[in-house]
């Protein structure tokens, strides 16, 4: 089994997917706009518009879900360009596309990008090219299955580039790699804006998450697949609710459509967020669901 597939399949099995029909209403669901801060439009989904989830289909899913903005990062980057090119369709669906340069041309790049100089060259070329909706706003998502690879030559150069160009980083890494990546920047992580995919899919202890939030003012936690996030009836576990209330401006939600099954269940995924967002004070719920993403990228609603 592909290592990435195994890791995420394992995470799914641990967390479980709670059927929406089994939820008992705990509080009114959050009903406002959603910012999907972790979305992939990979080749399996669209394949040059002939795949099972063409642009009109995925935009319809977003629209039905109340998703008004997305961070799009795709393997290869052609998927993000396809969404960015569909300007009439995205306008009709009221969806803003925030494009990121992904570091993967193919699946083999997952395991070698951090030391492959051609990846750095590809990123520079993509940044120079831009997209139909304007410049790329970030780089990633990338993966580090061994935190020591954060010290790879290309990983170091990309962190320096991101801070210099004010690009947001989307990183699927463990907590140790967060410190290593931040250390490569001139500010030692005080100016770099980094979205921590899944806020640690391996389940970093909440005290460690809190310590990293305190240490790095530009660190944002994206909450898809996060172990231990929700408890009975799909509401936030008390310790997570406490942490989000302490850092209401530092968390984001995302669909992580890394496989086509995630597109199939996209509306259920986004509604699951509405369930636990409804258990937060309204202003905090809107921060996590929408305002934090808007502020991060300077979007005009």
pLDDT digits (tens, 9 = 90+) for 264-299: 999 999 999 999 999 999 999 999 999 999 999 999
pLDDT at residue number 26: 57
pLDDT at 13 over 70: no
pLDDT at residue number 300: 83
DSSP, res 135: S
Whether the CB-CB separation of 75 and 258 falls below 8 Å is answered with: no
pLDDT at 2 over 50: no
| Distance of alpha carbon 43 from alpha carbon 25, whole angstroms | 37
pLDDT at residue number 48: 85
* Mean pLDDT calculated for residue range 143-171: 98
Task: Give the closest residue to 222 by CA, choosing from 173, 177, 180.
Answer: 173
Q: What percent of the chain has pLDDT over 70?
A: 91
Q: Is 49 exposed, middle or buried (0-12, 13-18, 19+ CB in 10 A)?
A: exposed
Tens digit of each residue's pLDDT (9 = 90 or more) over 191-219: 999 999 999 999 999 999 999 999 999 99
Tens digit of each residue's pLDDT (9 = 90 or more) over 220-263: 999 999 999 999 999 999 999 999 999 999 999 999 999 999 99
pLDDT at residue number 27: 77
Whether the CB-CB separation of 257 and 263 falls below 8 Å is answered with: yes
Task: State how far the alpha carbon of 115 is from the alpha carbons of 122, 125, 151, 179, 251, in Å.
Answer: 13, 18, 9, 19, 30
Task: State how far the alpha carbon of 73 is from the alpha carbons of 1, 125, 142, in Å.
Answer: 23, 16, 10
* Mean pLDDT calculated for residue range 31-51: 95
pLDDT at 30 over 80: yes
pLDDT at 15 over 70: no
| Distance of alpha carbon 276 from alpha carbon 72, whole angstroms | 24
Q: What percent of the chain has pLDDT over 90?
A: 89
If you average pLDDT over every residue of the chain, what do you get?
92
Query: CB within 8 A of 87, min separation 6: which ones?
Result: 132, 133
Structure tokens at 209: 């998450």
pLDDT at 6 over 50: no
Q: How many helices (H) and strands (E) does the chain have?
A: 14, 8
* Mean pLDDT calculated for residue range 60-74: 98
pLDDT at 60 over 80: yes
Report cis status (omega within 30 of 0) of the bond before 225: no
pLDDT at 64 over 70: yes
| Distance of alpha carbon 58 from alpha carbon 50, whole angstroms | 13
243 vs 9, more confident: 243
CA max distance for the chain: 52
How much is the pTM? Answer: 0.91
pLDDT at 3 over 80: no
């Amino acid at each position: 089994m592909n290592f990435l597939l195994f890791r995420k399949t394992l995470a799914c099995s641990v967390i479980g997917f709670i059927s929406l029909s089994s939820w008992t209403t705990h509080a009114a669901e959050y009903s406002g706009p959603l910012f999907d801060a972790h979305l992939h439009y990979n080749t399996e989904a669209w394949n040059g518009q002939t795949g099972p989830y063409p642009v009109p289909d995925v935009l319809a899913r977003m629209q039905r879900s109340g998703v008004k903005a997305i961070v799009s990062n795709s393997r290869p980057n052609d998927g993000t360009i396809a969404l960015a090119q569909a300007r009439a369709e995205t306008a009709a669906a009221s969806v803003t596309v925030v494009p990121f340069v992904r570091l993967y041309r193919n699946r083999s790049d997952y395991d070698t990008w951090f030391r492959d100089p051609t990846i750095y060259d590809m990123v520079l070329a993509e940044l120079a090219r831009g997209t139909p909706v304007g410049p790329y706003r970030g780089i990633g998502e990338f993966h580090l299955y061994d935190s020591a690879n954060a010290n790879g030559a290309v990983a170091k150069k990309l962190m320096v580039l991101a801070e210099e160009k004010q690009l947001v980083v989307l990183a699927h890494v463990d907590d140790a790699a967060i410190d290593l990546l931040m250390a490569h920047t001139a500010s030692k992580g005080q100016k770099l804006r980094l979205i921590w995919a899944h806020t640690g899919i391996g389940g970093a202890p909440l005290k460690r998450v809190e310590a990293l939030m305190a240490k790095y003012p530009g660190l944002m936690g994206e909450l898809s697949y996060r172990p231990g996030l929700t408890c009975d009836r799909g509401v936030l576990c008390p310790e997570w609710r406490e942490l989000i209330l302490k850092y209401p401006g530092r968390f984001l939600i995302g669909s992580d459509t890394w496989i086509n099954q995630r597109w199939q269940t996209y509306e259920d995924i986004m509604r699951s967020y509405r369930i636990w967002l409804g258990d937060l004070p309204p202003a905090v719920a809107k921060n996590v669901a929408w305002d934090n993403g808007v502020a991060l990228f300077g979007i005009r609603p």
